[in-house]
Amino acid sequence: MKNNKVLIFDTTLRDGEQAPGATMSPAEKLEIAFSLERLGVDIIEAGFPVSSKGDFDSVYNVAKHIKNSFVCGLARSVTKDIDAVIEAVKPAKQKRIHIFLATSKIHLQHKLKKSQDEIVAMAVESVKYARKRMDNIEFSPEDASRTEKEFLYRILEAVIKAGATTVNIPDTVGYSTPQEYGAVIAGIAKNVPNIGKAVISTHCHDDLGLAVANSLGGVQNGARQVECTINGIGERAGNASMEEIVMAIKTRSDFYGLSTNIKTKEFYRISRMVSKATGFIVPPNKAIIGANAFRHESGIHQDGILKERRTYEIMNPEDVGVPSHEGLVLGKHSGRHAFKDRLKGLGIELPEVDLDRAFARFKDLADKKKEIYDEDLVAIVEDQGHMAHMAYALVDLISTSGTNIAPEVVVTIDHKGKKQTKKSTGDGPVDACYKAIESVTQLKANLLDYSIKAVTQGKDALGEVTIKVAIEGETVIGRGASTDIIEASAKAYINAINKFVAQKK
In sequence order, the 6+-apart residues with CB closer than 8 A to the CB of 222 are: 185, 186, 188, 189, 200
Say whether the peptide bond before residue 274 is cis (omega within 30 degrees of 0).
no
The sign of the dihedral angle between the CA atoms of 377, 382, 388, 390 is: negative
CB 92 within 8 A of CB 70: yes
d(CA 7, CA 463): 38
CB 243 within 8 A of CB 271: yes
d(CA 82, CA 78): 6
pLDDT at 323: 67
pLDDT at 404: 86
In sequence order, the 6+-apart residues with CB closer than 8 A to the CB of 29 are: 13, 17, 46, 47, 58, 61, 62
d(CA 348, CA 371): 20
pLDDT at 368: 78
Please identify every stretch of the chain with a pLDDT value under 50, giving residue numbers as ranges: 1, 296-298, 300-302, 305, 325-328
pLDDT at 460: 74
What is the tens place of the pLDDT at every residue in 178-196? 999 999 999 999 999 999 9
Helix residue ranges, H only, 198-308: 211-220, 242-251, 253-256, 267-278, 299-307
Identical fold, 7-278 and 389-504: no
pTM of the model: 0.80
pLDDT at 227: 98
Task: Return the bridge partners of 412, or none.
Answer: 396, 421
CATH of 389-504, one of 3.30.160.270, 1.10.3720.10, 3.30.300.30, 3.40.225.10: 3.30.160.270
What is the tens place of the pLDDT at every residue in 197-227? 999 999 999 999 999 999 999 999 999 999 9
CA atoms within 13 A on the CB side of 195: 22
pLDDT at 11: 98
Residues composing the chain: 505
pLDDT at 317: 83
* DSSP classification of residue 229: B
d(CA 367, CA 354): 20
Phi and psi at residue 294, to the nearest 5° = -125, 25
The SS3 call for residue 132 is coil
pLDDT at 324: 59
Amino acid at 311: T
pLDDT at 327: 43
Strand order in the sheet with 463-471: 445-454, 463-471, 474-482
* DSSP classification of residue 109: I
Phi and psi at residue 194, to the nearest 5° = -105, 20
What CATH code is assigned to 7-278? 3.20.20.70
pLDDT at 156: 98
Rounded to the nearest 10°, the torsion over CA 242, 243, 246, 251 is -160
Q: What angle do CA 89, 90, 91 make, to 5 degrees?
A: 95
Phi and psi at residue 292, to the nearest 5° = -100, 5
pLDDT at 361: 82
Strand order in the sheet with 392-402: 392-402, 405-415, 418-425
Domain boundaries, the chain: 7-278, 290-322, 323-386, 389-504
d(CA 434, CA 493): 7
CA 68, chain centre distance (Å)? 19
In sequence order, the 6+-apart residues with CB closer than 8 A to the CB of 315 are: 247, 251, 288, 294
